Structure 1
Amino acid sequence: MKRYITTPIYYVNDVPHIGHAYTTIIADFLKRFYTLRGDESFFLTGTDEHGQKIEQSAQARGKTPMQYATEVSEKFRTLWDEFDIDYDHFIRTTDDYHIKAVQLAFSKMLEKGDIYKGEYEGQYCISCESFFTTTQLKEGRFCPDCGKPTSEVKEESYFFALSKYQDKLLKWYESNPILPSYRQNEVINFVKNGLNDLSITRTTFEWGIEIPSQKEGEKKHIIYVWLDALLNYVSALGYGGSEERMHLWEGAIHLVGKDILRFHAIYWPAFLLSLDIPLPKKIYAHGWWLNEGKKMSKSIGNVIDPKKVSDEFGNDVFRFFLLREVPFGQDGDFSLNALVDRINSELSNDLGNLLNRLIGMSEKYFSLSLSSNKAQEFFPTECKELENTITQALTLVENAHFHRYLEEVWKIFSLCNTMIARYEPWSLMKNGESEKTQALLVFLCNALYKGTLLFAPIMPTTAQKIADSLGIEIAPSEFKKMIDHHSFKEHFRIEKIAPLFPKIEKKEEKVQESKEEIKKEENKTPQIKIDDFFLSDLRVGEVLECKNVEGSEKLLLFQVDLGEQKPRQIISGIAQYYNPQDLIGTQVCVVANLKPAKLMGIVSEGMILSVKDENGLKLIIPQEKRKNGSKIG
């Protein structure tokens, strides 16, 4: 099977941050995972280097746009190399072959009648390189995505007939190409509201790809940066040139952040339909990493440097934490203490200690040489449990449940630790049951081997250390034998190695109570002024998506439409009172300006109001349907 895995090409307006690392590490995991499974895999990443914002940033630094773009692009490439990212090709939109591919695509769309000349008049966000209608703006002026002021633009422009492809896009969504599913629902709702044709050239700046065959005397048109950037996914495969890798396109999987999903799930497939190129197989849209509930921003100084975290804790640990900590698609709050907790509990206790005990018992009882063909005979129930866990884990990758994939892998190590406690090999040896003891240790080696093969794409260095200790190999042939065919190895020669994950002392987080919080504790029901009440922003919103929070019996995870550009993610502890599916489409009352909080590793961006008495709990809902986002009060 062919697998073509892509990250967005990163815009060279800033240095790499943890969000860039998150996307790239997931893509790297998928590349390594599919390669280990024996699939033909190709991994593309790179940098997006054109546009007005780059031109302005370069001018502000006294550099040419190419000098500035090259400098920042190299920072991305260097970081991915330091992170040992296994990309196959690093593309720059300033590469000659890409420029030719973009100009060819423009010509084909123009020839097909999907591009026409007109005049654009409206609002443009330079920061996001995006056009917005007046109704989309915040307070009639500010960008709905980044919040920065937009500029009024009136200029000659070429337009792409996006509206022509509305029905075909809705038909494509029926094949469920976008994960998580609630992100697909957002896209469908956006498209159903009607698509406007898209302005795809600018004439007010020069740093970009010129349209081909411009007529003499015509204004110099630069191709819209998003049309330019999105075409990288096919130009890197040889589109418009030798096309030597275009056969990989049938397995295309795009990884993107939720803030650029619209471009990838609406504009990009429409461009492909115009060019008669098949649409991508999947689009995975992840959430944001926040810092104390706030989106990271250089302007407020809360950006987390992924290199510093990796340098302090190790590349493998950093990779593990990003994929394990937060369900894919949801926003997560980065915390060093949460990272230390994962190290000490799951990595040190569950995995590292398992290997240490296995080495110790193998040395004490069998001089580090194990041999048994009776592991499956002695432990049939555990063998079945191991097999079922592996089968379940493999299904989760295709559905972008990466955190749950790691949960299933860690169940293997929990099973091993439980077996040690249950069967007490020291007692078996004391009772003269050497054969069963050796069979138990061989079972543990096999389980650890299988688990190592499964997490090797996430923690390759750690996996190799375990492979060296157990005398095993991390290779597609071994994956096929041990994972796909559930084989058992009968002989192990153990090598002693240093502990994998020494415990780390947790840094104390100082929590200072404000005077207001102390006062509230002393007086549970303080009186407030009417002005205090109006500080609460209460709004009506519609539930778009609702599901149980994994690992919790009380919490439900909502996606609520408050009439904003994007739905709100809200957690509410009402799972024992409502079936989540019954709430979809219901309007609820929400505290919209509540400070974001983290529950079960998931960020909640508001509170859903309810009332509770001796008769139970009920949500507070409008008597009649109201416009989403309507204020209460």
Structure 2
Amino acid sequence: MSGRTPYFITTPIYYVNDAPHVGHAYTTIACDVMARFKRLDGFDVKFLTGTDEHGQKVQKSAEAAGIDPQAFTDRVSQNFRDLAKLLNITNDDFIRTTEERQRIAVQALWRKLMESGNVYLGSYSGWYSVRDEAYYGEDELTQRDGKRFAPTGAEVEWVEEPSYFFKLSAFQEPLLKLYEERPDFIMPAGKRSEVMAFVRGGLRDLSISRTTFSWGIKVPGDEAHVMYVWLDALTNYITALGYPNTAPGSEFARYWPADLHMVGKDILRFHTVYWPAFLIAAGLPVPKRVFAHGWWTVEGEKMSKSVGNVVKPGDLLDTYGLDQTRYFLMREIPFGNDGDFSKKAMIQRINGELANDYGNLCQRVLSMIQKYCDGKLPQPDGFQEPDTRMLDAARAMLGTVRAELDVQAFNKALDAIWSVIGQANRYVDEMAPWSLRKTDTVRLGTVLYTLAETIRQVAILTQPFMPDASNRILDQLMVPMDARDFNALETGVLTGGTPLPAPQGVFPRYVEPEAGAA
């Protein structure tokens, strides 16, 4: 543990007033790809996800369901645990804000903020959106049918109540300094510009407690107040590291600051304005990066329950398969942009890139080894220029993929891998092993070995994206389980003469069910 570089990655904690949809799956899979990649690359990874369970919105949802908030959150939080299992997510911890460790951490952070002189008692009068759990200024609102709406489209209500305030206005310059000195703190770059413009526009002190409802963590020393849900929620990232224990040797000392907070663009402000301000006030380091990804539409339309086009992860997996779904979500759009989920695009990628390109390469090569080499991995005998060109391209993939994933460019990382898959398919056609079988069996052995070694390199690198399928390919090459990390890309090679099992297809083509078929 001690010799490896720590890497701490988090999903946002998901709000428990609704069922998980493809947007939740998208964020969680992206974090899982990063976590798996970093583990294979030798890092000591801590990967956190969980659920955000306090606040007025949850209290109202529980009332509507006719049960108490704790029973409601127990049920809905389990849906997100189930989602992680369903998607083959390798999180190391799952946090719930209703846990005792969260109460301890949030109240400890509150005391730090009080001690720093950045919290005072006052009275709040202003607009609040229960749906967003956010405060809005008059200048941010629009009016329609006598009602006011937030920029998100959520209805707002006028709130007047005693409240503790955080002196957010005092943090305008420290925050702008942070954004200037660390340009990759907020990614992608367009989002950084948005946040900087917002902060330059001036910051108002932030109401951080409520008295008109009770479902939340009590303010220490003043239990008539519950803490603002975002102060509570954001603290989860340090709760999971054992805060307030920050002593040398603690998890907090090892993993904080977080390397990457992955969030949807709708909660960027909370993570890049409020959260670093709270941390700076408490004398704690700020995270290294907050990355805001885009939203998915469905067949060109916004996802909505009323339209009935909400894409459920379970339905995708049942229809297309787990690794196919993971692949599509990471490949279809540049991470950070908005994207459209279309059935046609999904099928094109499954049949074109997975079945035809990757799957067919594996099937052709392994079938030829089975047929032409008695099912044993051939022994190479003198690599020629086309072989070394192929192997060099395969070995160069890691550097490219690592660089792309370090900036969360998932689609570009996959482009780099698919470039090598395309080169390997062309190499098969140019070398024509079926002809070499009749004319030069020694050369045939070298060509098939080159291809098998290329597939090994590709399969090791596709593990973070498609773990099950990649491992099935590596199984067919008889690659030992302890030789599948990135260290093995350089040190490990296939051994000629190894008997291989009969090849099995890994990426079946998707065939549309016939109309009326059950």
Same fold (TM over 0.5): yes
Match runs of 1:44-123 below 5 Å: 44-123=48-127
Q: Percent identity at matched positions?
A: 41
Partner of residue 268, structure 1: 275
Residue 227 to residue 359, structure 1, CA distance change in 2 (3 Å): same
Contact 2:320-2:510 at 8 Å conserved across structures: no
The yes-or-no answer on 1:455 pairing with 2:459 is no
The yes-or-no answer on 1:204 pairing with 2:212 is yes
Q: What SS does the aligned partner of 2:126 have?
A: strand
2:164 counterpart letter in structure 1: Y
1:420 counterpart letter in structure 2: V
Contact 2:10-2:49 at 8 Å conserved across structures: yes
1:489 counterpart letter in structure 2: L
Query: How far is the alpha carbon of 1:88 from its aligned partner?
Result: 0.7
The yes-or-no answer on 1:384 pairing with 2:395 is no
The yes-or-no answer on 1:35 pairing with 2:39 is yes
Contact 2:172-2:202 at 8 Å conserved across structures: yes
Query: How far is the alpha carbon of 1:372 from its aligned partner?
Result: 2.8
1:454 counterpart letter in structure 2: L
Contact 1:337-1:506 at 8 Å conserved across structures: no
Q: Distance in 2 between matches of 1:457 and 1:145?
A: 37
Residue 110 to residue 394, structure 1, CA distance change in 2 (3 Å): same
Counterpart of 1:195 (choices 193, 203, 206) is 203
The yes-or-no answer on 1:353 pairing with 2:357 is no
Residue 394 to residue 241, structure 1, CA distance change in 2 (3 Å): closer
Partner of residue 255, structure 1: 262
2:390 counterpart letter in structure 1: E
Query: How far is the alpha carbon of 1:30 from its aligned partner?
Result: 1.1
The yes-or-no answer on 1:495 pairing with 2:493 is no
Q: Distance in 2 between matches of 1:357 and 1:271?
A: 57
Counterpart of 2:336 (choices 329, 343, 365) is 329
Counterpart of 1:155 (choices 154, 161, 170) is 161
The yes-or-no answer on 1:137 pairing with 2:141 is yes
Q: What SS does the aligned partner of 2:155 have?
A: coil
Q: What SS does the aligned partner of 2:460 have?
A: helix
1:22 counterpart letter in structure 2: Y
Deviations 1:441-495 (A, max 9, x none): 111111111111111011111011101100013557642131xx37643424322
Q: Distance in 1 between matches of 2:311 and 2:165?
A: 39
The yes-or-no answer on 1:418 pairing with 2:435 is no
Residue 202 to residue 151, structure 1, CA distance change in 2 (3 Å): same
Q: Please, which runs of 5 or more residues in structure 2 have no aligned partner? A: none
Residue 357 to residue 332, structure 1, CA distance change in 2 (3 Å): same
Contact 1:115-1:159 at 8 Å conserved across structures: yes
Query: How far is the alpha carbon of 1:508 from its aligned partner?
Result: 10
Partner of residue 436, structure 1: 443
Q: What SS does the aligned partner of 1:50 have?
A: coil
Contact 2:150-2:156 at 8 Å conserved across structures: no
Query: How far is the alpha carbon of 1:293 from its aligned partner?
Result: 2.6
Residue 375 to residue 98, structure 1, CA distance change in 2 (3 Å): farther
TM-score when normalising by structure 1: 0.76
Counterpart of 2:320 (choices 313, 322, 329) is 313
Counterpart of 1:225 (choices 222, 229, 239) is 229
2:171 counterpart letter in structure 1: Y
Deviations 1:580-600 (A, max 9, x none): xxxxxxxxxxxxxxxxxxxxx
Q: Distance in 2 between matches of 1:427 and 1:142?
A: 74
Partner of residue 165, structure 1: 171
TM-score when normalising by structure 2: 0.93
2:378 counterpart letter in structure 1: S
Query: How far is the alpha carbon of 1:411 from its aligned partner?
Result: 1.4
Which structure: greater helix fraction? Answer: 2
Residue 297 to residue 375, structure 1, CA distance change in 2 (3 Å): farther
Q: Distance in 2 between matches of 1:9 and 1:302?
A: 24
Partner of residue 296, structure 2: 289
Counterpart of 1:464 (choices 459, 463, 471) is 471
Counterpart of 2:129 (choices 125, 129, 132) is 125
Residue 499 to residue 160, structure 1, CA distance change in 2 (3 Å): same
Q: What SS does the aligned partner of 1:254 have?
A: strand
Match runs of 1:5-16 below 5 Å: 5-16=9-20
Q: What SS does the aligned partner of 2:306 have?
A: helix
Query: How far is the alpha carbon of 1:506 from its aligned partner?
Result: 4.5
Q: What SS does the aligned partner of 2:47 have?
A: strand
Contact 2:113-2:281 at 8 Å conserved across structures: yes
Q: Distance in 1 between matches of 2:382 and 2:212?
A: 73
Q: Please, which runs of 5 or more residues in structure 1 have no aligned partner? A: 510-633
Q: What SS does the aligned partner of 1:142 have?
A: strand
Contact 1:254-1:282 at 8 Å conserved across structures: yes
Q: What SS does the aligned partner of 2:297 have?
A: strand
Partner of residue 251, structure 2: 245
Contact 1:15-1:72 at 8 Å conserved across structures: yes
Moved more, 297-306 or 184-193: 297-306
Query: How far is the alpha carbon of 1:417 from its aligned partner?
Result: 0.5
Q: Which has the larger radius of gyration?
A: 1
Q: Distance in 2 between matches of 1:340 and 1:52?
A: 41
Q: CA RMSD in A?
A: 1.9
Contact 1:162-1:195 at 8 Å conserved across structures: yes
Q: Which runs of 4+ in 1 moved over 4 A?
A: 373-378, 474-478, 506-509
Moved more, 181-190 or 226-235: 181-190
Deviations 1:552-603 (A, max 9, x none): xxxxxxxxxxxxxxxxxxxxxxxxxxxxxxxxxxxxxxxxxxxxxxxxxxxx
Q: Distance in 2 between matches of 1:342 and 1:4?
A: 31
1:468 counterpart letter in structure 2: D
Contact 1:44-1:91 at 8 Å conserved across structures: yes
Query: How far is the alpha carbon of 1:33 from its aligned partner?
Result: 0.9
Contact 2:390-2:424 at 8 Å conserved across structures: no
Moved more, 71-80 or 291-300: 291-300
Deviations 1:402-449 (A, max 9, x none): 011111111121111110111111222222x22221111111111111
Contact 1:122-1:152 at 8 Å conserved across structures: yes
Q: Distance in 2 between matches of 1:486 and 1:344?
A: 33
Partner of residue 585, structure 1: none
Residue 13 to residue 280, structure 1, CA distance change in 2 (3 Å): same
Q: Distance in 2 between matches of 1:10 and 1:374?
A: 56
The yes-or-no answer on 1:25 pairing with 2:21 is no
Q: Distance in 2 between matches of 1:50 and 1:4?
A: 24
Q: Distance in 1 between matches of 2:485 and 2:21?
A: 36
Partner of residue 427, structure 1: 435
The yes-or-no answer on 1:369 pairing with 2:373 is no
Query: How far is the alpha carbon of 1:364 from its aligned partner?
Result: 1.9
User: Number of residues paired by the alignment?
Assistant: 502
Q: What SS does the aligned partner of 1:422 have?
A: helix
Q: Name the structure, 1 or 2, with higher relative contact order (CA <8 Å, separation 6+).
A: 2
Contact 1:180-1:400 at 8 Å conserved across structures: no
Moved more, 187-196 or 385-394: 385-394
Q: Distance in 2 between matches of 1:502 and 1:338?
A: 16
Q: Distance in 2 between matches of 1:121 and 1:79?
A: 39
Q: What SS does the aligned partner of 2:219 have?
A: coil
Q: What SS does the aligned partner of 1:109 have?
A: helix
Q: Distance in 2 between matches of 1:133 and 1:435?
A: 76
Query: How far is the alpha carbon of 1:242 from its aligned partner?
Result: 7.5
